[in-house]
Chain A
Amino acid sequence: ETGVTQTPRHLVMGMTNKKSLKCEQHLGHNAMYWYKQSAKKPLELMFVYNFKEQTENNSVPSRFSPECPNSSHLFLHLHTLQPEDSALYLCASSSSVGRDQYEQYFGPGTRLTVT
């Protein structure tokens, strides 16, 4: 499959559960991102990884734990979430060089519902 893929596409979890979101990109990029999209709010950048190293953490609560084992894969581990964490979580990737960095390629998202 080409582009950026995300699994699962939908996830319902209780506040005491632990789950993980997965993102994979097949574009040869070295930068990967997690965004949160809530209703009536702008898309919020959560984390940025460059060459597997985290370069941006936008004051995200520790109940969200990212992992980037290689430049093609990105995970978001979730534990003890709150109902207000329900949102669409988008993964994106881009080049790590020059102005091409901001042409980000997005995945379809994971719709997360916390009950």
Chain B
Amino acid sequence: AQRVTQPEKLLSVFKGAPVELKCNYSYSGSPELFWYVQYSRQRLQLLLRHISRESIKGFTADLNKGETSFHLKKPFAQEEDSAMYYCALANSGGYQKVTFGTGTKLQVIP
């Protein structure tokens, strides 16, 4: 069974401080990991995926298979980053069966 764990329900950081949202996963096969974000009064949307190795809005995430982690990082938090962040996993054989974590609320303090 595949499982995604986000240990922090709430993460508060000051503007300009580094951000790290933790995500650990459990899956025996080859996972596809990604992050979704939900800003206030907006719908859930894809932020980034690990295979793209891209930086979106200054956020990056590296898949660490040894630690089974996919932490989301940003060097300098901005107020507009305040949102709910969900880590998600799909197995390479069934991209549509996505397992989401419980989410972490990021609060950036001005």
Chain B, 60-95, contact with A by CB distance < 8 Å: what is the 0/1 string?
A: 000000000000000000000000001010100001
Restricting to B84-110, which residues have a CB under 8 Å from any CB of A?
Answer: 86, 88, 90, 95-103
CB-based contact B95/A102 at 8 Å: yes
Question: In the complex the two chains form, what is the Cα distance from A43 to B85 in whole Å?
Answer: 12
Most B-side CB within 10 Å, residue of A98, A104, A109: A104
Most A-side CB within 10 Å, residue of B4, B45, B96, B102: B96
Chain A: interface residue total (CB-CB under 8 A)? 25
Evaluate whether A102 and B90 lie within 8 angstroms (CB atoms) in the complex, with A33-B96, A48-B97, A56-B96 already known. yes
Question: In the complex the two chains form, what is the Cα distance from A92 to B34 in whole Å?
Answer: 16
CB-based contact A45/B102 at 8 Å: no
Chain B, 25-54, contact with A by CB distance < 8 Å: what is the 0/1 string?
A: 000000010100000000111100101000
Question: In the complex the two chains form, what is the Cα distance from A106 to B34 in whole Å?
Answer: 15
Evaluate whether A43 and B43 lie within 8 angstroms (CB atoms) in the complex, with A99-B32, A102-B90, A102-B95 already known. no
Question: In the complex the two chains form, what is the Cα distance from A40 to B9 in whole Å?
Answer: 9
CB-based contact A41/B46 at 8 Å: no
For B92, give the chain A residue with the smallest CB separation: A99
CB-based contact A40/B102 at 8 Å: yes
CB-based contact A101/B44 at 8 Å: no
With a cutoff of 8 Å between Cβ atoms, the chain A residues found around residue B44 in the complex are: 43, 90, 106
* 21 A–B contacts from the bound complex (CB under 8 Å): A4-B43, A31-B96, A33-B96, A42-B4, A42-B99, A42-B101, A43-B44, A45-B98, A48-B96, A48-B97, A98-B95, A99-B32, A99-B49, A101-B95, A102-B34, A102-B98, A103-B46, A104-B46, A105-B45, A106-B44, A108-B43
Residues of A participating in the B interface, judged by any CB pair closer than 8 Å:
4, 31, 33, 40-43, 45, 48, 50, 55-56, 90, 94, 98-99, 101-109
Known: A4-B43, A45-B99, A105-B45. 16 other contacts (CB 8 A): A40-B102, A42-B102, A42-B103, A45-B98, A55-B96, A56-B96, A94-B96, A99-B49, A99-B95, A102-B32, A102-B34, A102-B49, A102-B90, A102-B98, A104-B98, A106-B45
